[in-house]
Amino acid sequence: MEAIFSLVSMYAREGLLLPLKEGDICENIRDFCVWDEGEVLGCAALRIFSRELAEVRSVAVHPKAKGRGVGTSLVAFCIDEARSMGLRKVFVLTKSPGFFAKCGFFEVDKRELPHKVWRDCIMCPKFPDCDETAMMLYIK
């Protein structure tokens, strides 16, 4: 939990990820997967919204592990998990659309996402002027 908090907070300070409180991570720890080489070097979370839809969020790779496929593997793990639960679609809201395009996501209109997706956004300092790109992947 501490490692996830530290990774997410580092990128939240750069404005790349939404900040998470330690309590949020603790409550949702089962959503997370980590990349562990004796030290946790990456994390990602899969949050389920409905029978069909989940979100991949909080994808973070430590600077010393970037460019080695860790981020792609974590996202692929989340998608496999979504598939194993019978979900049909996974979305992201991201400032790194190029990375998610490489993971198979494509850009969609934010209005295509259901209302309850926005429950976290009210906490965001940028609300309602969201500068993230919405992207979707249909699970095969």
Q: Where are the beta strands (DSSP E) in the chain?
A: 32-36, 40-48, 53-61, 89-94, 106-107, 133-138
**Which of 34, 48, 76, 99 forms a contact with ligand COA (CB under 6 A)?**
99
| Helix (H) or strand (E) run with residue 3 in it | helix 2-13
Tell me, what amino acid is at 125? P
The residue (of 51 and 120) whose beta carbon lies closer to ligand COA is 120
- Helix or strand run (H / E) with residue 27: helix 22-27
Q: Give the x-and-dash track for 31-70 against ligand COA (CB under 6 A).
A: ----------------------------xxx----xxxxx
Q: Which residues in 117-129 are b (16+ Cβ under 10 Å) and which e?
A: beebeeeeeeeee
C-alpha to C-alpha distances, 43 to 2, 3, 74, 86, nearest whole angstrom: 12, 9, 7, 23
Taking the complex as a whole, the smallest distance from the CB of residue 56 to ligand COA amounts, in Å, to 7
Q: Please state the closest distance from residue 128 (CB atom) to ligand COA, in A.
A: 20
Q: CB of residue 108 vs ligand COA: minimum separation in angstroms?
A: 16
Under rule CB under 6 A, residue 16 binds ligand COA: yes
Please state the closest distance from residue 88 (CB atom) to ligand COA, in A: 21
Site residues, ligand COA (CB under 6 A): 11, 16-17, 59-61, 66-72, 94-96, 98-99, 102
